[in-house]
Amino acid sequence: MEIDKNFKGYKTWKEGSKQTIIGEPGDTKEDAIKFMHAHLDYFDLRGDFTFNAGNIVQNGNEFIFTMNRLGQVQVSRKFRLGNGVQVEID
């Protein structure tokens, strides 16, 4: 996988945007993750966007990433403590 220096699609990314990476035959999910990290670094986006590797969808040699804006990741405000008590943060 090589970075397309003319890629401009990242300019439309927002929280939850999908980005498809098309790998070469034999590329693994780990290869796609390394590529996406290099991509974020190349376009100086590491401080703006991230992704959850557990949410990558693989279809053959296509890898679909769900982009998350740093500082805007949705966190559940309801928690259940070990003793079964449910807590909600306002």
Q: Which two tokens stand for residue 71?
A: 């500082």
User: Within 10 Å of residue 56's Cβ, how many Cβ atoms?
Assistant: 16
- pTM for this prediction: 0.72
Rounded Cα–Cα distance for residues 1 and 34 (Å): 10
Q: Tell me: the pLDDT tens digits for 16-47?
A: 999 999 999 999 999 999 999 998 999 888 88
Asked if 75 and 15 count as a contact pair (C-beta separation under 8 A), the reply is no
Q: Residues near 47 by Cβ (< 8 Å), separated by ≥ 6? A: 70
Give the residues across from 49 on adjacent strands. 69
What pLDDT score does 10 carry? 82
